[in-house]
Structure 1
Amino acid sequence: MFSKNKKTEGLDHEQRLQYEYARKRIVQKKRLMQHFIIFLAGSVLLIIINPVLGIGDEFFIKDWFIWAILIWAFLFLIHLFNVFMMNKFMGKEWEDRQLERLKAKQSARIAELQKEVDGDLLKQQQALKKNENLNPLPPENE
């Protein structure tokens, strides 16, 4: 009976982690879609502002809206790349591998330091024994 409860607790934890990961991915994709919609609406607005209304011809370069849209499109492509490509390379599995690698490095460094401390302690004990053998205390007279 007790083992059953432990297994379901483990599954619940695993399911919770999967749910959190899926939720994060949904939020990422939702924000990407919002960015795309804002990009389209903003591009249309920029096209209306410059060529149709002629705003900005006096103090900007000619057809400045094209450059603005291209820069915005580049930023959108970076966002798209981040959501779909970087998540595959640097997603949850990558984080777990990096965490395990760093934990292994840390435990190896701790073991190395412990070995040094044990060696120093052994040297100190040997030095104390040598000093006791070289300089024995005279017997106490009472």
Structure 2
Amino acid sequence: MHITDIKPDQRLLDLQHASYAIEAQIIGDDRIPPLHEDLAALKAEPLLWLGARNEAGDLVGAVAWEETPGLVDINRLVVDPGALRQGIGRTLVKEVLARAGGRKVIVSTGRGNTPARTLYERLGFTHVEDVEVIPGLWVTSYELV
């Protein structure tokens, strides 16, 4: 697997939609905003992106974040449904953590998304709170200090 900086494009958008479709199935709710985002909206987001490519050069995962001098906010983590459970998400998050340089890192995921929650907890993130962002849609927040 090769990790590189990437820019939003159609392939990333397709990967994002496929990945969030899996999360929607897991949590039983498809009202996840990135699931319905179009390419123009994706490109308009002020996010930094890393992509994971397999040996064939195909994009199989990506992570996006925003940062300030004191905080890194992991905004998205997407993995190709055909490449789940291969350590791609873990590798991408660990790269963001390495780039955080000791800053506090925060991340949120669907409360019912057990695979994502397990990943963050195994990487040392601490549960902060559960918030109902819209009626019936719960998000769990984590931090790593």
TM superposition score category, shorter chain reference: under 0.3
Which structure dedicates a bigger proportion of its chain to strand?
2
Considering fraction of residues, name the structure with more helix. Answer: 1
TM-score by length of 1: 0.18
TM-score of the pair, normalised by structure 2? 0.18
Structure (1 or 2) with the larger CA radius of gyration:
1
